[in-house]
Chain A
Amino acid sequence: MYNEVIMAGFGGQGVLLIGKLLAYAGMKQGKQVTWMPAYGPEMRGGTCNCTVVLSDKPVGSPLSQRPHGLIVLNLPSLDKFESAVRPGGTIVVNTTLINRLPQRTDINVVPVAANDIAIEAGTAKAANMVALGAFLGATGLVSVEQIKGVLAEVFASRPKLIPLNEVALTRGFEVGQAEAAASAAR
């Protein structure tokens, strides 16, 4: 197993956090993992992204030119990374903020109204969790239970945030699973 995932959005949308959750959960599942933030000047005000690699053997490059998975929370991120995704890979698109779908036909597209679903769950701030949930629902890369376990650790000092984030994660997961089932049927 070897998987590169890029998560991207505006600064403040929480892409670094969902990357950490994915890496942490992967580590707990016995995978070799790396988490690499883009730390260049582009972080200020512009788009923000991180790369997570999960593998059965020690990870080489922590950067990715050809990711297997992509989670995009805003349009500039889709524009930037769409062409990089490997054929057969998966793109999760936050359709609340992105008014187009990927043009490519050789990839799995998982549209999810991440902000809308997060607002229903209690706060738009959890849109990142919805998107991560959708990605896991579609790819099964790590178990959603593992993410929930990690979530409890990461939010240990603010436990009241845990249920809300769990709900957002679960809603997203259901969307991702349904999309994967629908595209398998097509």
Chain B
Amino acid sequence: MAKKLMKGCEAIGEAAIQAGCRLFFGYPITPQNEIPEYLSLRLPQVGGTFVQAESEVAAINMLYGASGAGCRVFTSSSSPGISLMAEGLSYIAGAELPVVVVNIMRGGPGLGGILPSQSDYFQATKGGGHGDYRLLVLAPSTVQEAADLTMEAFDLADHYRNPVMIVADGLIGQMMEPVEFRVGTSPEDLPEKPWATTGAQGRQPNIINSLFLAPTALEAHNWKLYAKYQEMKKHIKYELYNADGGCQILVVAYGSVARITRTAIDILAEKGIKVGLFRPITLFPYPADALLQAIEQTEQVFVTELSTGQMLEDVKAIVGERRPVSFYGRVGGMVMGAEELAEQIEKQVTGAAGPQGS
């Protein structure tokens, strides 16, 4: 396919179709409405089904049912809508079903605002709903990567029989960039799911459930899930920028903020300040080993994100006392400019800053 100029949201929608997904259930919310809008047009064209549910709670339970029946299925929402889906996600994780959920994050708490935010990091990476479960979390930084990771998310969800969440924000969702889709899959070519409830004629019935009343059985189930989350480390992804040969300060940032950081790094390079970027692409499991390796070649670590310091907690836990960790965050839908961020980083390098939030 040739390169097309597409909005991030539209690219995510098209990627889901290319991944062989033919079902979307969702409920409108800004700033991700271009995903359902796009799919409401495209899914009927490819024999799929688009349902605008009566609520997010209904939508996520439609995903539960469709996934249990062995179908690739997908929803997207934004922060408050994801909160409404949290109960369903817990059930889906408990029942070990593959679904893909996109969260185009907006400022919170509560209804908050509609502008870019990364304040659902805790919700995405630490569970979000009740019970001892995790989502595999992916954070694209470009429209191309949003498309690629969406396609990959369906394979990962099937592989681990676990929900996969893609987190981005309105910057990635609303922005247009060139995108090229890799060769897609049709639903008929997807691997069989022998565990699915497709009708038990001629075989033992399959049961999909998250109820384990016997504590021994639930404990075994919890440890089985835990082992699966450990195994997900095989699929950890991250990217380094300008970090070859060491740097004075290593910035840790993901998603939209990582690309603003790249521009800040280029601005500081002109001033002779060598700044590196460590960009986690999987937020869960977090690329902890890679980060530990990366900090070997820097004097200090600088975390920047669109929250008051959520990923910061993970970075601090990983880095410990090995390097000083400073922080710069913008919230409420305010996004740091590249020059603004460059100034903050420079202050840390020259020792002129009182660190924010620590």
Contacts and interface: CB of A to CB of B under 8 A. Distances in A.
A34 interface: yes
B174 A24 contact: no
A169 B81 CA distance: 44
B253 to A, nearest CB: 11
Interface in A65-99: 65-66
B242 to A, nearest CB: 11
B338 A34 contact: no
Given A39-B114, A40-B115, A60 B266 contact: yes
A115 B3 CA distance: 34
Contacts of A65: 337-340
B175 A62 contact: yes
Contacts of B5: 20, 23-24, 27, 33, 35
A35 B176 contact: yes
B31 A39 contact: yes
Given A40-B114, A61-B263, A34 B175 contact: yes
A36 interface: yes
A169 to B, nearest CB: 19
A5 to B, nearest CB: 14
Given A20-B5, A60-B260, A61-B260, A37 B335 contact: no
B337 A27 contact: no
Contacts of B335: 63
A154 to B, nearest CB: 10
B3 A36 contact: no
A41 B111 CA distance: 14
B171 A62 contact: yes
Contacts of B31: 39
Interface magnitude class on chain A = 20 to 34
Report the contact-size class of chain B (Cβ under 8 Å from the partner): 20 to 34
Interface string A31-53: 01111110111000000000000
Given A34-B176, A35-B176, A27 B259 contact: no
A60 B262 CA distance: 5
Contacts, number: 68
Nearest to A16: B176
Interface string B23-53: 0000000010000000000000000000000
A60 B177 contact: no
A60 B337 contact: no
Contact of B261 (A39, A60, A62, A66): A60
Interface string B106-135: 000000001100000000000000000000
A18 to B, nearest CB: 13
B287 interface: no
B276 interface: no
A24 to B, nearest CB: 5
Nearest to A35: B176
Interface string B170-185: 1100111110000000
A33 B266 CA distance: 17
Nearest to B3: A27
15 contacts: A23-B5, A35-B175, A35-B177, A36-B176, A60-B260, A60-B261, A61-B259, A61-B262, A61-B337, A63-B335, A63-B337, A63-B338, A64-B337, A65-B337, A65-B340
Given A27-B3, A32-B178, 18 more contacts: A23-B176, A33-B177, A33-B178, A35-B5, A35-B177, A36-B175, A40-B333, A41-B114, A60-B260, A61-B260, A61-B338, A63-B260, A63-B337, A64-B337, A65-B337, A65-B338, A65-B339, A66-B339
